[in-house]
Amino acid sequence: MSWLPKSPKARRRLWIVVAVAPVLALAVGLSLFAMRDSVTFFFSPSEATPEKAPAGRVVRLGGLVENGSVVRDPTTGDVAFSVTDNAASTRVVYRGDLPDLFREGQGIVAQGSFQPDRSFRATQVLAKHDENYMPREVAESLKAKGEWRPVEGPAT
């Protein structure tokens, strides 16, 4: 074979590379395949279409809690509220204790999945930390839509 190196040492190195390359490629491929479920995408209510965020897929939904939308069910412990980006609104249902800083008109990020009826079932709700903080994804989404109205300066 004329394409093989003439040196026995170089030929041995070539065979080692030829043997190791597929194993390494397989390992990288399997790692990427395994990590695909741990990636969580962020959407605002107007971006969360059935094509981008299908039912059952774990995503993050962020925006502002609509005023007057928080409804607590004392029998089941569910809390239902609407999240908006001032262009669209999505109904969110969460079971559990909400963060102390959760309130109407404030920015939140909810992690969970859309149901077949396009309501959002949250498994985790994150609220802002102080008066000047809004989750980065929410602030960027509101800025892109021209809805960002900071009280005192830009988002941190």
- Three-state DSSP class for residue 37: helix
Full 3-state SS string of 123-140: EEEEECCCCCCCCHHHHH
Residue 133 annotated as binding?
yes
pLDDT of residue 150: 61
Rounded Cα gap, residues 49 and 156, in angstroms? 28
Q: Which CATH number fits domain 41-127: 1.10.1740.10, 2.40.50.140, 2.30.42.10, 3.40.50.720?
A: 2.40.50.140
Q: Is the pLDDT at 142 greater than 90, yes or no?
A: no
Quick check: 135 and 62 in contact, CB under 8 A? yes
Alpha helices (H) in 1-101, listed in sequence order: 8-35
Domain ranges of the chain: 9-38, 41-127
**Angle, CA 118 vertex, CA 98 and CA 73 arms, to 5°:** 35
Q: Is the pLDDT at 37 greater than 90, yes or no?
A: no
Quick check: 121 and 115 in contact, CB under 8 A? yes
The pLDDT confidence band at residue 155, using thresholds 50, 70 and 90, is very low
Residue 106 annotated as binding?
no
pLDDT of residue 69: 92
